Structure 1
C-alpha cells in the first residue's frame, strides 16, 4: 500500500513518520523549504511513545508527482485546502482514497466535490503535537490516535487494508463505523474551546479561576444543539470529556485559534466557527455566545487584512 502524506508538519510528520518506521511505502509531499530541511536533518520525532530519527525520508515536490497512490493523507490548515488540493491532485487515481485530518466538516464538501464521494474517507487525529524551531516534531501527550472510516460507516476492503497497515505502526489507528459522529463530537469540543478561550483571551484555567466556566458550559450547550439539529447529538461520554476539559481549574489549555490570533496569523475561524453556525437554525434566543465568538474572529481577520493592505499600499 502506497501512502502519500501531504506535508510533514506536526500531524503529517508524526503519523507519516510512524508509518515509515513500520516499513510502509510512504512519501511526503513537501514545499521546497521543508524538503530542504528534511534532506539536511532528517525527520525527527520526540515522543513519549519513543523518539524517532529518519535520516532520509522519501519526499517529493508537487511538480514531481507521479500517479498513483493508494492513500493520500491530508492534514493541512483549512485555509490552505484549495492550494493543497492543487498540489496533490495529480496523485489521485481511480482507486486512490483521500484521508483528511482537518477539523470541522466543510473540507469534506470541498474534497467530495473535487474527487467524488467514493474517493473520500472521514478522519480525525487525536494528538497534541507541534514543530520546534529545528523542525522536529514534538509529541506533547500520550494520545496519538488516528481514527478513520467510510463516510457511510461501511466496512469495505479498502478501509480494512488501511487498518491493517496502521496496526503495524506505533500509533493507535482506529477504524470507525461512525466516523461522522466522531467528527461532529470533535468539532463540538474544538468549537467550544476555541470560542471560550478566544472570547476571554485566556487559558481554561484562568477562565475557571475567574468564575467564568459557566460561559464555557453554555457554549458547549449551544454547539451540542447545533450538532443535534444535524442528526449528530454528542454522546454522553463526549459531553463529559468536553465538560471536564473546560472546567479544569489548573489547565493552561488555549485553542490554536487563539494562538493564531496572538501571533497575527490567519485562522481557521471560518471553518471551525462560521461553518458551525451556518449548519444550525440558530437565533439570539438560544444561540448567543457562538455568534459573538465568530464575530470577534471575523473582526480580527478584517483588521489583519487591513494591516496587510496598508503594508502593500
Structure 2
C-alpha cells in the first residue's frame, strides 16, 4: 500500500485526522492531548453516556496542571467520523477483532492503524482485518483513570510512547506519526525493535496489574508493601526468562526497572487498568498480559509458576464476580412471601411476581413481553472454517443454508441448524469466539424502539445491529411473514411423546 498520504498531509498542513478507537480513560488522555495539539481527533466509545457527556460539556481532564475542559469530537458510530488518516486502537484486548470490524468506515485508501494496547498479539488480529501493510504497533506508558462519563484523570507528563513498523524499519510514515504525537506533548520515539518494546511494556503490566487486581490496592499502596514487591519482581523475572528464550531483545535485564517504571509520574491514588476493570464488574486483560507470559513459557519450555498463580487468582476473582452478578439477576426481583416458588423466567428478567400468580412457565400470551422473537443464528469466528463445515455436516447433518464466497473458499458459512461460521485464520484460542447473535423478530421496529431504554448503541452495519453495553453484538431480523416467529416458538423439540 502507498501510505505516503499521512506524511504528505503532515508536511503540508499541521492537522491530522485521527480516530481513537476505544476512547476510555487512556484513549481520552491521548485524544485530549492530540486535540489540543491542533488535530482533528474523533473519540469513539460504545458508551452512549460517556459520549453524550463529552459532546454536551466537552471532556473534563484532571492532571498535574489542574482541571480543564477540552472541546472534543465524540461518537459511538465510526460512520460519523468517516475515513481518517490514523486509527489509534485502544480497546480492551478481547474486543480488538469485533471493534475493528465494526469500525471499517474509518479506513480509507491510505489510512494507517496503530495499536497502543496492553499485551501481545493485537497487531496480528488487526492485520487480518485491514491488511498488514497498514498496521504499526506501539506501547505507551501514559496513564488514565475514568472518574465519571466525560471526566478523566490523565497522566501524560513524563510518560513515554514508542511506535514502530512490524518489520523494524524506520520509515517516514512512522516518523511523521511520532512528530504529530510529540507536537501534542506526547513524548514519542520510533523503535527499530518494536517487538522488544512491546515486551518491555508487557513487563510493566506484569509487575503491577494482576497484583493490584487481586489486592484492590492503588499504586501508592502497592509500592508501600515489600511482600508485594517481591512477588512482582519474581513475576517480571519469569517474563524476562521467557523473552530471552524466545529471542526477544529487551531494554533491560533488571526486574527492578519495570517495577520502578510502572509508577513513575503517577499519583499515589492511581489504579491500574486491571483493577479499574474489576471495580467496574468487567473482565480483565489477564490472558494478554500474565497469561501471554504463561503461554510463551509453555511454548519455549520456561516454567512460569508465579505468573500462572497470578492468572489463576484473577480468573478466580472474575469467576466470583460473574457468580455474584448471576445471583443478583436471579434474586434481584421482589417475590411475595406467599409465593416462594421456584425462580421462573419472569424472575430472571426482573418482573415482579404476584403472590396470586406464581406462574412457572410463560405460555406465550403475556403481551407485556412485547413483540416475540427467537434466536435464529449464532455467529462464531473460527480459525479453520473447512474443518467446522465438515464436522457439523458429517456428525450432525447440519448442511449449508447460505455461503459468503464460494463453497471451496468460504468467508462465512451458515448451516440449516442456525450456526454461522466466520473465517478468522489468526484465531488461536481453544474454542470459537462469539461474533454476534442473530435474532428473528415478529416486529423488528417495536423491538428496536424498546431496546433504546436499555442504553444500546447502533452499530455501523445498520440500525438493526445493536451493541449492548457490555459489548455483545445483536443483529435483529424482521421475519417475513411475521407469523413465522409464533410458529417457530410453538415447537418444543424436547417434548415427550
TM-score by length of 2: 0.55
Partner of 2:185: 170
Q: Structure 1 CA distance, aligned partners of 2:274 and 2:80?
A: 32
Q: Please state whether the residue corresponding to 1:98 is helix, strand or coil.
A: strand
Q: Please state whether the residue corresponding to 1:5 is helix, strand or coil.
A: strand
User: 162, 165, 175: which one pairs with 1:160?
Assistant: 175
- Report matched runs for 1:39-50 at 5 Å: 39-48=55-64
CA contact (8 A) 2:209 2:272 kept: yes
Q: Structure 1 CA distance, aligned partners of 2:49 and 2:67?
A: 24
Partner of 2:20: 5
CA contact (8 A) 2:35 2:41 kept: yes
- Report matched runs for 1:34-183 at 5 Å: 34-48=50-64, 52-55=68-71, 57-62=72-77, 64-65=79-80, 67-133=82-148, 135-140=150-155, 142-183=157-198
CA 243–138 in structure 1, closer or farther in 2 if over 3 Å, else same: closer
CA 223–253 in structure 1, closer or farther in 2 if over 3 Å, else same: farther
The answer for unaligned runs of 5 or more in structure 2 is 1-15, 331-347, 349-497
Partner of 1:217: 233
Q: Which has the higher strand share?
A: 2
RMSD value over aligned CA atoms? 3.1
Comparing 35-44 with 280-289, greater Cα deviation is found at 280-289
Q: Structure 2 CA distance, aligned partners of 1:115 and 1:136?
A: 32
Asked which structure has the greater RCO (Cα within 8 Å, sep 6+), the reply is 1
Partner of 1:205: 223
CA 120–298 in structure 1, closer or farther in 2 if over 3 Å, else same: same
Q: Please state whether the residue corresponding to 2:108 is helix, strand or coil.
A: coil
Larger radius of gyration: 2
Q: Are residue 274 (structure 1) and residue 300 (structure 2) matched?
A: no
CA 283–107 in structure 1, closer or farther in 2 if over 3 Å, else same: closer
CA contact (8 A) 1:192 1:223 kept: no
CA 51–111 in structure 1, closer or farther in 2 if over 3 Å, else same: same
Comparing 160-169 with 254-263, greater Cα deviation is found at 254-263
Q: Deviations over 1:84-120 (max 9, x none)?
A: 2133222113321111111011222211222222111
Q: Please state whether the residue corresponding to 1:177 is helix, strand or coil.
A: coil
Q: Please state whether the residue corresponding to 1:181 is helix, strand or coil.
A: helix
User: 294, 305, 309: which one pairs with 1:288?
Assistant: 305
Q: Which has the higher helix share?
A: 1
Q: Deviations over 1:103-139 (max 9, x none)?
A: 0112222112222221111112211221223632212
1:59 to partner: Cα distance: 3.0
CA contact (8 A) 2:147 2:153 kept: yes
CA 254–232 in structure 1, closer or farther in 2 if over 3 Å, else same: farther
Q: Please state whether the residue corresponding to 1:96 is helix, strand or coil.
A: strand
Q: Structure 1 CA distance, aligned partners of 2:296 and 2:162?
A: 23
Q: Structure 1 CA distance, aligned partners of 2:20 and 2:280?
A: 27
The answer for unaligned runs of 5 or more in structure 1 is none
Q: Please state whether the residue corresponding to 1:93 is helix, strand or coil.
A: strand
Q: Structure 1 CA distance, aligned partners of 2:56 and 2:313?
A: 41
Q: Structure 2 CA distance, aligned partners of 1:214 and 1:222?
A: 13
CA contact (8 A) 2:294 2:308 kept: yes
User: 242, 260, 263: which one pairs with 2:277?
Assistant: 260
In the alignment of these two chains, the number of paired residues is 308
